């Protein structure tokens, strides 16, 4: 592992095998870490921690650490400042897309999390290594795929996080899915579906108007043929919108011939968004109906609701930009 990838090494002064004079010269001209922490919510003892990081140009992105009872740590990474997809229930795109993150800015989120784990969890006698990564923070990963793949190549080589421990989430951009399949990487793919018919999906995810569900499923089929990896479908349950047993039957009919796993996600409330969280009964009934139709599903239990855990909430509440030089 190079010094620049070693957790906890935030300055050149920590690189003890370099001559002291050289360390001073490097410190005067370069940065080991460029992102600056603006806000941290949660703690190492909680199930989730959220960080608002300021980049070199003053723009801000969110990074999340999720902790489980097994001592595993999953990082949720952003790929863009803002988002252009405009999903009706998501805070990330409420202010539109500002720009793609550079590969180094994506890498910095991993390094920040690795630093944090090394400094806080090790001190508390807890596991201190990243175990998994999900690329489903702010932005659409496949709209910034070139930079993302560069970043993940660096991370898998430098931090020892295996490709099979990384999941890339997308709204379902067919060209991007095909590019990812052809890249030869062994990452998991998760597709945000949220509706089983185009009319409702158009309302919830405006990008669907230019794509359509069939094109998404065809691209997923191509991905499975190329990689042999089962795709996960993300489905946010919105009370009174897409959470009925009838909705479950439509979804089951759409996916029962697919080699798919459905990840059911009860909506996490977002200020300014009118959707509501479904009842526990509605969630359970939806899951039972899917399984009755032969579609595998799991319910994702929400973590960190009290710390603005939904993508983009913390950035909007604390301001999208900081002071600039």
In the chain, count of helices (H) and strands (E)? 9, 12
Tokens 């439509």 belong to 250
Q: Which of 54, 62, 140, 289 is catalytic?
A: 62
Take residue 304 and report the two structure tokens written for it. 């960190």
d(CA 221, CA 217): 6
CB atoms within 10 A of CB 212: 15
Asked whether 165 and 110 are in contact (CB, 8 A), the reply is no
Take residue 203 and report the two structure tokens written for it. 């309302």
Q: Which of 76, 83, 90, 311 is catalytic?
A: 311
Q: List the strands of the sheet with 48-54, edge to edge.
A: 36-42, 48-54, 60-67, 73-76, 132-135, 166-170, 188-192, 231-237, 260-266, 296-299
Active site residue 311: yes
Give the active site residues: 62, 311
């Amino acid at each position: 592992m190079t010094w620049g990838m070693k957790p906890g090494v935030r300055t050149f002064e920590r690189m003890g095998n370099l001559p002291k004079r050289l360390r001073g010269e490097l410190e005067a001209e370069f940065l080991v870490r460029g992102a600056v922490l603006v806000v941290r919510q949660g703690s190492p003892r909680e199930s989730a921690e959220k960080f608002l990081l300021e980049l070199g140009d003053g723009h801000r992105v969110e990074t999340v650490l999720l902790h489980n009872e097994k001592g595993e740590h999953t990082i949720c990474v952003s790929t863009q400042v803002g988002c252009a997809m405009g999903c009706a229930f998501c805070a990330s795109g409420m202010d539109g897309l500002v720009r793609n993150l550079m590969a180094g800015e994506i890498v910095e989120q991993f390094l920040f999390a690795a630093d944090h784990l090394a400094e806080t969890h090790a001190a508390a006698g807890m596991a201190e290594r990243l175990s998994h990564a999900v690329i489903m923070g702010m932005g659409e990963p496949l709209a910034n795929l070139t930079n993302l793949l560069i970043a993940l190549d660096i991370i898998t080589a430098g931090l020892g996080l295996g490709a099979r421990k990384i999941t890339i989430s997308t709204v379902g951009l067919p060209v991007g899915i095909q590019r990812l399949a052809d890249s030869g990487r062994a990452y998991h793919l998760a597709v945000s579906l949220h509706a089983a018919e185009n009319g409702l999906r158009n309302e919830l995810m405006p990008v669907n108007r230019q794509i359509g569900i069939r094109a998404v499923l065809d691209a997923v089929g191509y991905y499975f043929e190329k990689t042999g990896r089962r795709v996960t479908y993300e489905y946010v349950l919105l009370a009174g919108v897409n959470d009925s047993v009838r909705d479950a039957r439509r979804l089951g009919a759409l996916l029962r011939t697919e080699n798919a796993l459905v990840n059911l996600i009860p909506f996490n409330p977002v200020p300014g968004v009118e959707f509501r969280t479904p009842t526990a009964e509605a969630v359970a009934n939806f899951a039972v109906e899917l399984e009755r139709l032969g579609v595998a599903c799991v319910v994702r239990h929400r973590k960190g609701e009290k710390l603005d855990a939904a993508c983009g909430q913390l950035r909007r509440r604390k301001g999208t930009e900081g002071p600039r030089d």
